[in-house]
Amino acid sequence: MTAPVRFPRFFVTSPAPCPYLPGRSERKVFTELKGPHADSLNDALGRIGFRRSQTVAYRPSCIDCSACVSVRVVASEFVASRTQKRTLDAHADLVTTVCRPWSTSEQFDLLQRYLSVRHPEGGMTTMDEVDFADMVEHTPVTSYVIEYREPSADGAAPGRLVGACLTDRQCDGLSMIYSFYDPHYEGRQGLGNYIILDHIRRAHEMGLAYVYLGYWVEGSARMQYKVRYRPMEKLGRAGWERLEPREQDALIAAAVANPRSREEATGSKDGMPAVPRV
């Protein structure tokens, strides 16, 4: 006889300063992912706006704010813009490898370089190599690290690591948990965009409908890059709904007109908060 599936217990964090909108506070609801049904629970929670951090699934549950909106790209209908086509062409020579969720010193060094430029005041800058190993390896669900490398001179030894993404495979799509890349590499502009575009292509080839990008936060300049991928769906009170073309046009225009500054690059990045204790 099959044991019944237990309904997960949910917890709520204490309010803390919001990492996205100054002067506001954030609160999260979370539950633990464990046991033989962790994948199916992660799938179900992902469809209602939860994100994974190690063995915890969480989503915002702020008292007086709903600015954090879950978004996903419809991979099967995605059409690259001219700029995105140029990005794909520019990085088409990169060697992409799907690796098991096992951390390496090379990945950690790349993460440190990324954080020092893109999120210099974020909480992740204090991570050591053990913390990074926990971030990558403590996963109860189907996960992998996708590496992006320069082609090597001899075609045999691994080339220079220039990007990586910790990714979950869900039943209906790929969830980008955390991506990072070399911010100093002048020969590789737009690596962050390329990693997203590669996930969209990969999801489509795998027959998966979506790529989950986490939370889009209106009013947070460093989150506006997410609106550039069409078609996009956002999660509202009535479920997932597609952004109307005019609405997305306006959001893209605003993102282009107000690129994030050095100051706006500080703080934490969506996708990897501190893991609450259950």
Q: What is the pLDDT of residues 108-139, one digit of tens each?
A: 999 999 999 888 777 788 899 999 999 999 99
Give the Cα separation of 85 and 92 in Å (integer).
10
Whether the CA torsion 238, 226, 10, 208 is positive or negative: it is positive
Give the Cα separation of 59 and 45 in Å (integer).
9
pTM above 0.85, yes or no: yes
Label the pairing between strands 173-181 and 210-217. parallel
Question: What confidence tens digit (pLDDT) does each residue in 89-100 have?
Answer: 999 999 999 999
HSE, CB side, 13 Å, CA atoms: give it for residue 157: 5
Helices 191-205, 82-90: axis angle to 10 degrees equals 90
Name, of 120-124, 126-130, 167-171, 182-186, the range with top average pLDDT.
167-171
SS3 88: helix
Whether the CA torsion 111, 48, 201, 187 is positive or negative: it is negative
Question: What confidence tens digit (pLDDT) does each residue in 218-274 have?
Answer: 888 888 899 999 999 999 999 999 999 999 989 888 888 776 543 333 334 554 555
Nearest to 19 by CA among 257, 237, 219, 278: 219
CATH topology of domain 11-265: Aminopeptidase (3.40.630)
Name residues whose C-beta falls within 8 Å of residue 83's C-beta, 6 or more positions apart in sequence.
Answer: none
Say if residues 212 and 75 touch (Cβ distance below 8 Å). Answer: no
Give the Cα separation of 162 and 178 in Å (integer).
15
Question: What confidence tens digit (pLDDT) does each residue in 195-220 have?
Answer: 999 999 999 999 999 999 999 998 88
Q: In Å, what is the CA distance from 119 to each residue of 171, 183, 190, 255?
A: 31, 11, 17, 19
Q: In Å, what is the CA distance from 42 to each residue of 57, 63, 178?
A: 7, 24, 16
Whether the CA torsion 165, 150, 162, 193 is positive or negative: it is negative
pLDDT higher than threshold 90 for residue 19: no
Peptide bond into 231 cis (omega under 30): yes
